[in-house]
Amino acid sequence: MYEKDGEKYFVVDSHMHFWNAAPDNWVPGAEQFADGWINCFHAYQGLGPPETHWTIEHFRSYSEDDLMKDVFQDGYVDVAIFQPTYLKEWYKEGFNTTEKNGALAEKHPGKFIVNTRFDPRDSDLGLKELEDNVARWGSKGLKLYTAEWNNGSRGWTLKDPGAYRFLEKAQELGIKNVHVHKGPTIWPLDKDAFDVSDVDHAATDFPELNFIVEHVGLPRIEDFCFMATQEPNVYAGLSVVIGGLMHARPKFFAKVMGELLFWVGEDKMTFGSDYGIWEPKWQIEGFVDWDYPSDEFSDYPRVTTATKKKILGLNAAKLYGIEVPAEFQLPADAGAPAAQDDAALVDLNEGAGAKV
C-alpha cells in the first residue's frame, strides 16, 4: 500500500522475479551466455537512480530477505506476481523457476501469485510439466519467453501449432493470463524476434485468455500499440517502461506513456517493477508524482489519480481476481477510461505559427 497526499494506492507488482545467476549456477560451456545475460540485466538497472544500483555480485543472487524487504517492507507492494524464466541451457537449476518462486510464496501466504510457463518445443513432457505446475502451485497465469534457447532452436512464436496445443491445455487447466516477453532471438533467426504479430493471432484465437505483453512490446511499441487497439484481450505490461525510462529518459517516458494511454488506454496497463532489475519503491513513488513535463504533451490523454490507481494495482487485481479492500477502490464515477477517442486531435489543429 502506498499513500500520498491523502490518496491510497493498492499495489500489485505484476512482473517480478527471484533468480539465481551466481556463477555456481552457470552451465559449464555456456558460462559466456549466463554471464552475458545477467550483465545485460545489470546494465538495465543502471538506468534507474544511482542510489538504487546494486553490485554485480548482489545482483546475481539476492536473498529471500532482500526480496521481502525491497518489495514488501520498503516497496509498498501488496501482492507480487512471480514470472519465471527458465533458461536451463545456461543456468543449471534454471535462472528463475516456478519451483524457486513457489517455495518462497508458500512461506508467505497471501503475498505472492505464482505463475508458471511452458515451452512448446518440450512437447508431451512439457504438457505434463505444465499440468503438474498448475496443480502444485495453483497458477492462474503464464509467463512465456519466446527467445529461450532450447536444443539448438533459438526461439519460437505463439503462432506455432505446438504453441496452440499448449494454450489450449493451459485454458483447460484454468489459466487466465498469459504474459508474453519477447527477446532478441527466434527461429528462424532472419525474422524479427521482437515482432508481436503472433500475440495478435493467439489473442484472436483464444478470446478467453488475456495477453499481457511485457515491456509493452519494447522495442516494438509501435506494432504492439496498433495490435492492442484491435484486440480487447491484450494488455500493456509496463515492466521496463517505468524502470528503464522514467528516471533515465524522462522525456521519452512521457512520450511513451502518452502513446500508451492514447492507443491502449489506462484500463489495460499494468505496473510491473521487474524486480530484481529495479526495486519497486522508487518506481511507485516516482510514478505517483509523475505528470507530463510540459505543454508539449498536451495532445496526449490526461493522467489522473484514478489512472495511477488503476495502473499500479486495480487493473492487475481485476485480471487475477485479487480482492481489493474498499478504501483503495475508485469511487463509482471516477476515472473514465482514457482511450483513443479521448485524445483529441489537438496536435493536428492547434497553433497558428507561420506556414511554409
Partner 1 sequence: MTDATALLAALDTVRDPELDESVTSLGFVTSCTVSAEGIADVRLRLPTYFCAPNFAFLMVADAYEAVSGVAGVHRAQVVLEDHFASDEINRGVAAQAGFVESFDGLAETELHQLRTDFRRKATLAATDRVCRPLLAAGWTPEELADLTLGDLPEAADVERLRSRRAELGLPSGDDSALLVDVVTGEAIGVQALPLHLRRARLTGVSLQANGSVCRGLLRERYATVGLGEEEETL
Residues of the shown chain interacting with partner 1 in the complex, contacts defined by CB under 8 A = 32-33, 36-37, 39-40, 42-44, 46-47, 152, 154, 183-185, 187-194, 218-222, 225-226, 244-245, 248-249, 251-252, 255-256, 259, 262-263, 345, 347-356
Shortest distance (Å) from residue 312 CB to partner 1: 22
For partner 1, the closer CB: 260 or 316: 260
136 vs 251 by CB, closer to partner 1: 251
**322 Cβ neighbours under 8 A, 6+ residues apart:** 12, 79, 113, 316
Nearest to 25 by CA among 16, 37, 38, 34: 34
User: Taking the complex as a whole, how short is the minimal distance between the CB of residue 91 and partner 1, in angstroms?
Assistant: 15
What is the Cα–Cα distance from 224 to 231, expressed in whole angstroms?
11
Contact 183, 203 (CB under 8 A): no
Q: CA 194 to CA 214: how far, in whole Å?
A: 11
Give me the least distance between CB of 318 and partner 1, in Å please.
Answer: 26
Cβ atoms 82, 141 nearer than 8 A: no
Please state whether the peptide bond connecting residue 276 to the residue before it is cis, i.e. omega within 30 degrees of 0: yes
Helix (H) or strand (E) holding 178, with range, is: strand 177-181
Nearer to partner 1, 18 or 90 (CB): 90
Residue 347 CB, nearest approach to partner 1 (Å): 6
For residue 68, the minimal CB distance to partner 1 (Å) is 27
Our CB check for partner 1 shows the closer of 4 and 249 to be 249
> Which residue, 134 or 238, has its beta carbon nearer to partner 1?
238
